[in-house]
Chains A and B, each alone.
Chain A
Amino acid sequence: MNMTEEMLEILIGKYLDGEITPSEQQILQKRLDSDSHAKELLEQFQALSERSCEVVAAQIIGRGKEAEEIFEQAWQRQAANPLHRILKMDGRLRFAVGLAAGLAIGLILHFVLPFVSTPQSPDVPANIVAQNEGNQMDAELTFPQPLMDPAENSLRNVDWYSFTDNQGNQWLVEGLRENIVKPAAYYGGL
């Protein structure tokens, strides 16, 4: 098998790093036996590898503080930070705190919002239709108030319609928005 230069370097690298398989070692050995340049390259890379170990060891290993000391300082640093303590809370405790905070915010909104928000709509419904004789709008005309259902004690939104029957009586009909028809109310004054 014809081995390229890069393949040779990969095999040398694997050999130096102790990652070479027996079959790969056989291939490398064959090449080393037959090629003096390959042998020289292996020796040089081996020396380079040894020096690299020394360099890295001198730069990193046995230099600076001990790992335990650094960890201890980091532990104390994070313990001194109250935010970290909150973040490190147990899951259930964190859930309870979140729930309490949510409840408090809800209560605040419940009591504060009615004062802050806009007041209820004016007494007169917007879509009221009124008709009087001669189809003239009367400045003094008093519009009917929104119906208050005594049974339910609640306000209802209604549409108002008026019409004139055969006898000339004017009727004011309330149409509930919920498509409920209620008995018409007669306002004699209209």
Chain B
Amino acid sequence: MTTERRQNESALVCAAQRSDKEALQRLLIRNWPWLKGLVYSILGDADQIDDVLQDICVRVITKIDSLREPERFRPWLAVLAKRQALRHRQRQARRPGPLTEEIAGLQTDEKAQQLFDKVEKKEQCLKILETVKTLPEKYRQVFMLAYAADLTYANIAEILDIPITTVQIRLVRARRMIYDKVTGSKSNKVLEK
């Protein structure tokens, strides 16, 4: 299954390298969910994702020729996406905005609040969201890939170019950190069923 998927993807990469627009589009859309998750894990702001994704698309269109191993498209894309997201984050950090970080954070909270109005456990969701944002980046990346794109450990390992056991450990630790933050202490219950 994985081999077949990889062969298909390699074929699409080869076609994309011959300037086949449709192949390139399919290739990107196929990887869209995790790409979005990865960008979010770096930016921590859903409103800026689209801009960065567009930049990533432009980079992929212009740089796909330089990919020597088509079967390694995913890790290549992940590196490119991380670089682009980090660049965007640095630009944002340099830009003096009218809002302070705290106010901006509150605005995000308000947006999140609106989104979760219909969700029964909105307070818990907000807590989780805030905790996810404070996770160390390496844990946040694995967490977002696991939850945004529902990827297997092997797929996450392939994208981030790390061993599967590292993915397992990082995911367990990310969950534990969220658990501890949300509960306040290990003895308390984390969530109501």
Q: Are A73 and B19 in contact (CB under 8 A)?
A: no
B172 touches A9 (CB 8 A): yes
Main secondary structure of the interface of A (DSSP, over half): helix
The residue on B at minimum CB distance from A8 is B172
Closest B residue, CB atoms, query A13? B172
With contacts A54-B119, A74-B54 known, is A67 near B179, CB below 8 A?
A: no
Report the minimal beta-carbon distance from A84 to chain B, rounded to whole angstroms: 5
The stretch of B3-11, B71-79, B99-107, B121-129 in contact with A is B121-129
Q: Is A126 an interface residue (CB 8 A)?
A: no
What is the minimal beta-carbon distance from A94 to any residue of chain B, in angstroms? 10
Choose one: B58, B121, B143, B171; the contact of A74 (CB below 8 Å): B58
Within residues 1 to 21 of chain A, which ones have a CB less than 8 A from any CB in chain B? 6, 9-10, 13-14, 17, 19
Q: A71-88 toward B: CB 8 Å interface, digit per residue (1/0)?
A: 101110110000010011
How many Å lie between the Cα of A11 and that of B62 in the bound state? 43
Q: Is the CB of A71 within 8 A of B153?
A: no
> Does B80 touch A at the CB level, under 8 Å?
no
- Closest-CB distance, A75 to chain B (whole angstroms): 6
Residues B153 and A19 in contact, CB atoms below 8 Å apart: yes
Task: Please report the C-alpha to C-alpha distance between residue A49 and residue B172 in the assembled complex, in whole angstroms.
Answer: 11
Tell me, rounded to whole Å, the shortest Cβ–Cβ distance linking A96 to chain B: 17
Interface residues of B: mostly helix, strand, loop or mixed?
A: helix
Count of chain B residues near A, Cβ 8 A: 53
Q: Which residue of A lies closest to B182 (CB)?
A: A48
Contact (Cβ within 8 A) A10 B46: no
Interface residue tally for chain A (C-beta within 8 Å): 39
Give the residue of A14, A44, A59, A63 whose beta carbon is less than 8 angstroms from that of B190. A44
CB distance from B127 to the nearest CB of A (A): 9
By the criterion CB–CB under 8 Å, are A60 and B190 in contact?
no
Interfacial chain A residues near B112, Cβ < 8 Å:
58-59
Residues in A with CB closer than 8 Å to B21 are: 75
Q: Is the CB of A70 within 8 A of B172?
A: no
Would you call B179 and A45 a contact (CB within 8 A)? Answer: yes
The answer for the CA separation of A34 and B187 in the assembled complex, in Å, is 19
Could you say which residues of chain A place their CB within 8 Å of the CB of B176?
9
* Cβ-defined contact, A47 with B175, below 8 A: no
Check if A70 sits within 8 Å of B62, measured CB to CB: no
Q: Is the CB of A64 within 8 A of B25?
A: no
